Homo-oligomer: A and B are copies of this chain.
Amino acid sequence: MTESPAASPDPDEESLALQDLGYRAAVIDLLGAIAYGEISAFDRLAEDARLAPTLEDKVAISSMAATEFGHVALLRDRLVELGADPFAAMEPFRHAIDRFHEHTAPSDWYEGLIKAYVGDGMAADFYREIAAYLDPRTRDLIVASLADAGHSEFVIDRVRGAIEADPRLGGRLALWGRRLMGEALTQAQRVAAERDALSALLAGGIDRPGLDLAAIGRMFSRITELHAARMSELGLDA
């Protein structure tokens, strides 16, 4: 993170933090949301792989899918360790995440590539922002589960090549990127409105700093800037 929020609890505070039932519920929510997000990303990437023009492209995107799925086990183990049923923890997020994917079903290979790269990147930025407010062990787990498998170069190479060959594609794909961002924000807002524990986490507590409105604004600015940087790497206007 280039500009990371200040709150950063001491390692010894981990078990103490988790004794706070509200905090614990928020962590379970967050891990459940990320886990379902990865399962669902796996599913969609495997589906999008069928749009690949060559076997090599198909293998590259399938490999992104398999990497996403590889993170699920870590999250699941930690949920069990926290005494939660991992599948029950994922349940509250199924609707919003499924809805996001329904509304952003790629109509061709390039939309699929951009969604894989930009969509995944946005989600990762958002979870990393929240992770900064958590105990170090949870934070490290989240950061590890969001690590991308270095497929950015592949996507950038393919998208830039396609726009060079057909410049009109750039306009359509730029719109697509904005739509991905819009849909992600819509669904994130819905989740925030419904999940009290997560909202309380962001708001902070007596012993834990939270985010005031200005801080939330800065968080969204950072996420938007990172999104714009990714779009520009792809050769697209954000």
Contact = CB atoms under 8 A, between A and B. Distances in A.
Contacts of A70: 66
Contact of A72 (B36, B42, B59, B90): B59
A209 B36 CA distance: 52
B39 A62 contact: yes
Interface in A42-80: 42-43, 46-47, 49-50, 54-56, 58-59, 62-63, 65-66, 69-70, 72-73, 76
Given A42-B46, A59-B72, A59-B87, 16 more contacts: A39-B55, A39-B62, A42-B66, A43-B46, A43-B49, A43-B50, A43-B62, A54-B87, A55-B87, A55-B90, A55-B94, A56-B87, A62-B69, A63-B72, A66-B69, A66-B70
20 contacts: A36-B55, A39-B55, A39-B58, A39-B62, A42-B46, A42-B66, A43-B46, A46-B46, A46-B65, A47-B47, A55-B87, A55-B90, A59-B76, A62-B69, A63-B69, A63-B72, A65-B69, A66-B66, A66-B69, A66-B70
